[in-house]
A = this chain, B = another copy of it.
Amino acid sequence: MGKDCRLTMAELEKYITDYFGVTESNALEGISTLFKYQTCEKGEFILEQGNSCNNLSFVFSGYQRFYAITEEGKEITQWISHESEFAVDLTAFITGSPSRWNIQALTKTELFTINKKDYDRLSEVVPDWAQFEKLFMVRCFNVLENRVFSHLSMTAEERYQFFFNYNKEIFNQVPLQYLASMLGMTPETLSRIRKKQLE
């Protein structure tokens, strides 16, 4: 950890407060000391498909792509995470099953990472941890619920609009082909939709 360890720790604690509603300073300290600062260069893998997922990483900066490869060899981008989200295959991390996703840094990335052993000890350190974890998981669930609904009820253009309104910045930082895949359309279609939006 570099010279601005204190700064980033303070930032991590801020995020934990915002995200989980933890405000007690003892609990905060307990949480944040179990997370280790870590960086990834562009292109580096944070997790590889098939491996077990033994770490949960809080994203401090950068963009990370979650993707899998289909039987026909097509790459499908399931999600792109960024600042203040978690880079983890949640299912694999919790259940111990092999990871479904590759997680690759699309830009230089700063993470706060906790391993599974320490993660499982969080409830000792933080009395209300189970409650925070439940809220965390239900938010993840809700994001997917929204995404399923968007595929049942919206056109490609509407899905684009919806996501663009939610996160404009990402379109300047991440190759559009990945965003297209994540939105369930081809790069050509996304390009045409974006052109149309300019008029």
Stoichiometry (number of copies): 2
Task: Determine whether the beta carbon of A134 is less than 8 Å from that of B135.
Answer: no
Complex Cα spacing A155 to B181, Å: 14
Instruction: Say which one of A51-59, A109-117, A141-149, A191-199 lies at the interface with B.
Output: A141-149
Instruction: Say which one of A10-18, A32-40, A87-95, A160-168 lies at the interface with B.
Output: A87-95
Cβ of A99 to closest chain B Cβ, rounded Å: 12
Instruction: Say which one of A41-49, A68-76, A169-177 lies at the interface with B.
Output: A68-76
At the interface, yes or no: A118 with Cβ under 8 Å from chain B?
Answer: no
Cβ of A81 to closest chain B Cβ, rounded Å: 14
At the interface, yes or no: A25 with Cβ under 8 Å from chain B?
Answer: no
At the interface, yes or no: A7 with Cβ under 8 Å from chain B?
Answer: no
Contact of A68 among B123, B134, B149, B181 (CB under 8 A): B149
Q: Which of A130, A144, A145, A147 has the most CB of B within 10 A?
A: A145
> By DSSP majority rule, is chain A's interface helix, strand, loop, or mixed?
helix
Interface residues on A, range: 20 to 34
Query: Which residues of chain B come closer than 8 Å to A140, judged between CB atoms?
Result: 141
At the interface, yes or no: A187 with Cβ under 8 Å from chain B?
Answer: no
Q: Mark A75-105, 1 if CB is under 8 A from B, else 0.
A: 0111000000000001100110000100000
Task: Determine whether the beta carbon of B147 is less than 8 Å from that of A137.
Answer: no
At the interface, yes or no: A152 with Cβ under 8 Å from chain B?
Answer: yes
Complex Cα spacing A91 to B142, Å: 6
Q: A95-B135, A135-B95, A141-B140 are in contact. Are A152 and B90 (CB under 8 A)?
A: no
Query: Which residues of chain B come closer than 8 Å to A138, judged between CB atoms?
Result: 90-91, 94-95, 137
Complex Cα spacing A145 to B153, Å: 17
At the interface, yes or no: A121 with Cβ under 8 Å from chain B?
Answer: no
Query: Which residues of chain B come closer than 8 Å to A78, judged between CB atoms?
Result: 145, 148-149, 152
Contact of A148 among B90, B94, B142, B148 (CB under 8 A): B148
